[in-house]
Amino acid sequence: MTAASFWMHDSVRVAMGAVWASRPELMPQMRSGAAIDTRELQPGEVFFALRGDNTDGHRFLSAAFDAGAAMAVIDDPDALDTAPDALPVVRVADTRAALGKLASSYRSTLGPVRVIAVTGSNGKTTTTRMIDACLSTTLRGHASRKSFNNDLGVPLTILGVRSGDQYLLCEVGANAPGEIEQLSRIIRPHVVVITSVGRAHLEGFGSIDNVASEKASLAEHLEPGGVVMLAADSEPLRPWRDRFERVLTFGTSPDADLRVGDVHQTIDGITFMLNEREPFSLPMLGPHNAVNAAAAIAVARRVGVDSEHAREGLASFEPPPMRLALQRCGGLTIINDAYNANPDSMLAGLRTLKQVAPEGTRRVAVLGDMLELGEHSDEAHREIADAIIRESLADLVIGVGPAASAMVTPLRATGLSVESVPTLDKASLSTLIEILRPGDVVLLKGSRRTGLERVAEAWKTASEPSAAGGPA
């Protein structure tokens, strides 16, 4: 079966092991793609009714029909009572599992499509976007949207491949052991990229070696002749270099196959050399992103995109939101890196703050809790404090959240300017805005649940001319 012929109602039903619950005489036309949210559903796609913590997709069958769904997949037979008669509906034992089964079956039809999978403790979303920027200069393909990297996002990404696509690019993450191997089984990649192994999700994995093992399991179902690309600077990945048939390394290490050097950082981005002879530029902050760019170049070459087109893709790259994104507003320069945080990425963000802040400006680090570190939490937060002191990374530190107190306490003891708020609410946001002043360069860095991007939003609101008493 080809990808083009896969998208027929009975083919899709059989692939999931589903049974008809409602089969109208006139079937709507079906196209590739699936959705779990009717607001994102495109006409002709399959709608999966999933149960979540706050809602149940079975309540939205009418909305799915109105959005043009070609089929709905349910696991609650009672939901059929609210389904429009003209909507084809199939029933499965578990809609979440059925989504993965459908993606796995569709993956088998993709034939010449080159499949690339990216994982890592840090930089996987940015690297995925960089790869897409390089490949899309000459090839047509489909890449993970947003951070679609779990057992829902990866299948949705695979199911979005269209006839004529030449590559499929999946981002893969995990919070617990075994998750990545299961996704590798569905993806069956030709190229695996591991950007780094760091101290993320230690609460679930226990040790950094376990994190490395989990990331490496993405290559468990590598296609014959496939290649594994590893970060040469990530020490926990070094033992894995000899465990795969074809390995390529990238990074600043002298023994890397693609060696990054001569990295220069300005407020507008970075420039670097690859293997001492090829120059590249990237309109993104963070010298460590030169290594992510090297991974993208390596993938591009592997699938037939030359260096010149890769250079073009990187030069016009648009960073994903809240990943060292530069914002200027009301006299403030904000480095918004608030999407997530672990010790390694927080140190990288702080070093970027030091590098890009012009001489004489106040460097403000608004640092939220680093979550999911388990018993390592206090030690990790103290490590950040030690680095701030040792490397003079900030002039003012504002800690946000209860875990951040392990960082704030040793900083305060040194006499460094320090503020602390237990949580971000309306009152504490107002306090933060009063502390900041035009001319500051501000880093926002914390775990996702901390929501530090609200600091940027509050400053923008307060700095607007209509905001009485706001910053001038």
Q: Hey, which CATH number is domain 110-315, 3.40.50.2000, 3.40.1190.10, 3.30.70.240, 1.10.3720.10?
A: 3.40.1190.10
Architecture of domain 3-93: 3-Layer(aba) Sandwich (3.40)
Res 205: pLDDT: 76
Tell me how far CA of residue 275 lies from CA of 74, 171, 251, 317, in angstroms.
53, 27, 10, 21
Over the stretch 157-202, which tens digit does the pLDDT of each residue have?
999 999 999 999 999 998 889 999 999 999 999 999 999 997 765 6
Banded model confidence at residue 268, pLDDT cuts 50, 70, 90: confident
Over the stretch 362-389, which tens digit does the pLDDT of each residue have?
999 999 999 988 888 999 999 999 999 9
Core vs surface per residue 147-169: b (16+ CB within 10 A) or e: bbbbbbbbbbbbbbbeeebbbbb
What token pair was written down for 344?
């390694």
Q: What's the rounded mean pLDDT across residues 81-89?
A: 96
Res 467: pLDDT: 47
Overall residue count recorded for the chain in this entry: 472
Return the higher-pLDDT residue of 54 and 335: 335
**Which of 115, 138, 122, 311 is closest to 221 using CA atoms?**
115
Res 256: pLDDT: 97
Percent of the chain with pLDDT over 90: 83
Task: Give SS3 for 330.
Answer: coil
Q: Are 57 and 48 in contact (CB under 8 A)?
A: yes
Q: What's the rounded mean pLDDT across residues 418-443?
A: 93
Over the stretch 201-247, which tens digit does the pLDDT of each residue have?
566 777 888 999 999 999 999 999 999 999 999 999 999 999 999 99
Q: Are 98 and 292 in contact (CB under 8 A)?
A: no
**Which of 117, 114, 118 is closest to 140 using CA atoms?**
114
Pairing of strands 191-194, 269-274: unpaired
Residue 312 CB partners (closer than 8 Å, separation 6+): 137
Looking at the chain, the domain(s) classified CATH 3.40.1190.10 span: 110-315
What token pair was written down for 325?
């994104």
The pTM score is: 0.89
Task: Give SS3 for 2.
Answer: coil
Banded model confidence at residue 54, pLDDT cuts 50, 70, 90: confident
Res 201: pLDDT: 59
Looking at the chain, the domain(s) classified CATH 3.90.190.20 span: 325-463
What token pair was written down for 219?
């290559």
Res 52: pLDDT: 85
CA distance 207 to 215: 13
The DSSP symbol for 378 reads H
Over the stretch 338-369, which tens digit does the pLDDT of each residue have?
998 999 999 999 999 999 999 999 999 999 99
Look at the domain 325-463 and name its fold: Protein-Tyrosine Phosphatase; Chain A (3.90.190)
Over the stretch 292-337, which tens digit does the pLDDT of each residue have?
999 999 999 999 999 999 999 999 999 888 999 999 999 999 999 9
Banded model confidence at residue 153, pLDDT cuts 50, 70, 90: very high
| Count of CB atoms situated within 10 Å of the CB of 417 | 14
Residue carrying the six token digits 């947003």: 146
The DSSP symbol for 319 reads P
